[in-house]
Amino acid sequence: MFNHIQKRSLLDMNFFSHLFGKKTTNEDTSMKYLIVGLGNIGAEYEGTRHNCGFMVLDRLLKSCASEKSEKPTYVLDRHAYRAEVKWKGRTLILIRPTTYMNLSGKAVQYWMQKEKISLENLLVVVDDIALPVGKMRMKKQGSGGGHNGLANIEELLHTSNYCRLRIGIGNNFGQGHQIDYVLGPFSSEEQAQIDPLLDRAVEAVKAFATLGPDRAMNMYN
Please identify every residue annotated as catalytic.
50
Beta bridge partner(s), residue 189: none
Packing angle between helix 148-157 and helix 104-115, nearest 10 degrees?
40
Q: Are the C-beta atoms of residues 168 and 132 closer than 8 Å to each other?
A: yes
Spatial distance between the Cα atoms of 70 and 77, rounded to a whole number of angstroms: 20
Please, how many CA atoms are within 13 Å of residue 141, restricted to the half-sphere of its CB?
A: 7
Spatial distance between the Cα atoms of 12 and 158, rounded to a whole number of angstroms: 42
Spatial distance between the Cα atoms of 141 and 204, rounded to a whole number of angstroms: 16
Count the neighbouring beta carbons within 10 Å of the beta carbon of residue 92: 25
Spatial distance between the Cα atoms of 97 and 104, rounded to a whole number of angstroms: 6
In terms of phi and psi (left: phi > 0; alpha: psi -120 to 50; beta: otherwise), the region of 217 is alpha
3-state class of 87 per DSSP? strand
- C-alpha distances out from residue 94 to 86, 97, 217, 221, Å: 11, 10, 20, 22
